[in-house]
Amino acid sequence: MADLRTAVPKAAFGLSLVLLLVGCGGEHERGDPTVMPSDAADSSALPTDGVPKVANPLDTTAIEADPCRAVTKAEIESVGSPVKGVEPDAQDPLGPECSWTLATGHGQVGAGPLTADSLGLSGVYAKHKKNQIETFKPVQSVNGYPGVIYGESDMDCALTVGVRDDLGYDVIFQAGLKNPNRGNTCPAAIKVAEFAIEHIKEMQ
DSSP one-letter string for 131-152: T--S--EEEEEETTEEEEEEEE
- Extents of the domains making up the chain: 18-202
Task: Indicate the helix (H) or strand (E) that contains 38.
Answer: none
Q: What is the pLDDT of residue 134?
A: 86
Residue type, 129: K
* 93-139: pLDDT as tens digits: 889 999 999 999 999 999 999 999 899 999 899 999 999 988 999 99
Of residues 86 and 5, the one with the higher pLDDT is 86
Q: CB count, 10 Å around CB of 183? A: 10
* 46-103: pLDDT as tens digits: 999 999 999 999 999 999 999 999 999 999 999 999 999 999 998 888 899 999 999 9
**H helices of the chain, where?**
61-65, 73-78, 120-129, 185-202
User: Can you tell me the distance from the alpha carbon of 18 to that of 27, in angstroms, rounded to the nearest whole number?
Assistant: 7
73-80: Cβ within 8 A, 24+ apart: 73/100, 75/192, 75/195, 76/100, 76/102, 76/109, 76/192, 79/109, 79/181, 79/188, 79/191, 79/192, 80/179, 80/180, 80/181, 80/188
User: Can you tell me the distance from the alpha carbon of 85 to that of 196, in angstroms, rounded to the nearest whole number?
Assistant: 18
Residues 6+ apart with CB under 8 A from 176: 102, 104, 105, 106, 107, 155, 182
Residue type, 118: S
Residue 23: pLDDT band (50, 70, 90) is very low
* 146-157: pLDDT as tens digits: 999 999 999 999
Q: What's the whole-number mean pLDDT along residues 164-189?
A: 96
Rounded to 5 degrees, φ, ψ at 71 are -140, 135
Q: SS3 of 69, please?
A: helix
pTM score, whole prediction: 0.82
* 32-41: pLDDT as tens digits: 334 444 444 5
Q: Is the pLDDT of residue 204 over 90?
A: yes
